[in-house]
Amino acid sequence: MKKTAAILLAALLAVAVIGCGSGNSNKDQASSGVKVIDIPLTEEEYAFGVDKNQPELLEQVNEFIAKIKEDGTLDEILNRYFGDGEPQPVTSAELDTGKDQLVVATNAAFEPFEYMKGDKYYGVDMEIAALLAEHLGKELVISNMDFDAVVLSVGQGKADIGMAGLTVNEERKQYVEFSEKYYDAAQLVIVKASDTRFDDSKTAADVEAVLAGLTKENKVGFQTGTTAQFYVEGDEDWGFPGLNVTGVGYRNGSLAVQDMLNGNVELVIIDEAPAKFIAAAINELQ
């Protein structure tokens, strides 16, 4: 786990950490953390959402994705967040309609794909965005917003492209043209370290059986607008029947996990990479 990740989440998780207390025994500290149930519940593809009125940009983006896959650049970027590489900061210019700019809509609360440290952007998508803008000979402008506004922003012509860990699905295709995929993803469950309900689970069917046994009295957290929300609440377009629980939406996954530690939800469902980064950051702070 990178130090920058722990530092980034420290402020959001402060309440949870304080609640745990610094004088606990090692056993108490271990039980106060969280754990990821590392069994994928879904199979998803991440892609970039391009303005439907810019077919030439979609072609350029697809050519660029193919290029960075072939020359190893994408692997280098991924290694900075999933391996031993060092994340690189990305700077956004101010929006100026008089300049040739690439406006990227994102939600910078989805580590390791997009997040902030000070006034700098970091993350897989943000580093790709910087290289894409350079490749196109444009100045990069990053427009940070709530996740559920990203696709709509592109659809309304307020941004050229959405780069925010976007899962390809039919509903979003109404607003954007998706590029070729650049990453495979899945949804995972996060629970308190002391929660034993999933300990015997070996397959997705086992996890789903536990989730199926929950009731409306059980509260499940998710980041609003993400695949997790559709998984919890059910959505025909996504092919999700939904869970018989009370879903609780949050602006980002870190807040959802913090609220779980505070006892307000029982578990959180979130994308695989953010789930592991959030859990590692929390447990490093215990």
Give the pLDDT confidence score for residue 28 in this predicted structure.
44
Give the pLDDT confidence score for residue 18 in this predicted structure.
34
Give the pLDDT confidence score for residue 285 in this predicted structure.
82
Give the pLDDT confidence score for residue 5 in this predicted structure.
45
Question: pLDDT tens digit string along 160-178?
Answer: 999 999 999 999 999 999 9
- Regions of the chain with pLDDT less than 50: 1-30
- Helix, strand, coil distribution of the chain in percent, nearest 5: 40, 25, 35
Q: Which of 266, 271, 237 is nearest to 252 (CA)?
A: 271
Give the pLDDT confidence score for residue 20 in this predicted structure.
37
Give the pLDDT confidence score for residue 23 in this predicted structure.
38
Residue type for 119, please? Answer: D
Give the pLDDT confidence score for residue 4 in this predicted structure.
43
Domains of the chain: 3-42+186-284 (3.40.190.10), 45-184 (3.40.190.10)
Q: Distance of alpha carbon 239 from its chain centroid, rounded?
A: 20
Give the pLDDT confidence score for residue 31 in this predicted structure.
59
CA atoms within 13 A on the CB side of 2: 18
Give the pLDDT confidence score for residue 236 in this predicted structure.
87
Give the pLDDT confidence score for residue 261 in this predicted structure.
95
